[in-house]
Amino acid sequence: KILYTEFSPKMRERAERDIEYRIERTDQKDKFVKTAESYLEGAPRSILDVGGGQGGAVTAFRKAFAAERSVLLDIDDEWVELAWLRDPETEVIRGDATHMPFRDEGFDFLFTQATLEHIPDWKAGVAEMSRVSREGLLCYNPNGRFIYDVHVAAPFVTWLPKEPAAYVALAYHKLRRTGRTMESIRGELQVTHYWPRAKVVRELRRLGCEVENAFGEFIRHSVEDSYHIYGGRLMQTFRTRPWTRKVFTNTALLLGAEPNVYLFYRSTARNGARNGTTRSS
């Protein structure tokens, strides 16, 4: 739970927009579908959403591709129940992303968003994702080299050890008078980890995957279809002056410091790169 000493007008406005985006507008998850379509070799017949929460994304993928099988895996009991209520046609499983109960390459396509940054053993998570799928779109935020973290809503924390980061975040929130407490900041930092995109790419390639950076495609779809709720003037500029979007995207990629990571991977011949046993689905 996020605790605040006071519920300032600024935080109330942000919370209301967050609720609207997460609950009422989950159909807009098709922004991920459009990004995936740019890389997929064909429509997947089976889809797995790892850490899918309330299920908006897996439903969007299932409907877009008319998938024969769609599965959502999440470790949270309440999210799993909500996902099943939202979309009974999707198989919902409570499970650990680092030990998934599926056979090797059991899914044509895997999607995961805002999950990897909450897995302490990220290499185990990436290994499992690549093991159970032929193709996948792996998204998480923030990139470990980006200056700002949306989880604690503060700059510089991605570059610092946890405790100094907590004090920096607290000072930032006091300056902005948001009312956020040290308890909530420390709690969020304990469950959020900052993995640089380059490390994740290297690990996927070591596991025998081809990897393409999908950040530019995702930004294009987000801007053109007005999906982003926090972009404000920046997104408006990207929409009215497309060249600014390209400059931003290319500069961020060159520095390895894009705000969010979007990687499309495709399984190739493993040549014994995989470790671990095969599990039945």
* 45 in any annotated domain: yes
Are residues 75 and 204 located together in one domain of the fold?
Answer: yes
Are residues 105 and 31 located together in one domain of the fold?
Answer: yes
Are residues 157 and 246 located together in one domain of the fold?
Answer: no
Distance of alpha carbon 73 from alpha carbon 112, whole angstroms: 10
pLDDT confidence tier of residue 277, bands split at 50, 70 and 90: very low
Residue 169, domain extent: 152-190
Give the CATH number of the domain where residue 23 resides: 3.40.50.150
* 53 in any annotated domain: yes
pLDDT at position 20, please? 52
* 17 in any annotated domain: yes
pLDDT tens per residue, range 120-156: 999 999 999 999 999 999 999 888 889 999 899 999 9
pLDDT tens per residue, range 50-95: 999 888 899 999 999 999 999 999 998 888 888 888 888 999 999 9
pLDDT tens per residue, range 197-244: 999 999 999 999 999 999 999 888 777 665 554 555 666 777 778 888
Mean pLDDT, the chain, rounded, equals 84
pLDDT at position 232, please? 59
Are residues 214 and 244 located together in one domain of the fold?
Answer: yes
What mean pLDDT do residues 5-15 have?
55
Are residues 160 and 29 located together in one domain of the fold?
Answer: no
What mean pLDDT do residues 190-195 have?
92
pLDDT at position 244, please? 84
pLDDT at position 111, please? 97
Are residues 66 and 171 located together in one domain of the fold?
Answer: no
Question: What's the pTM?
Answer: 0.81
Q: How many domains does the chain have?
A: 2
CB 73 within 8 A of CB 97: yes
Instruction: Name 261's bridge partners.
Output: 140
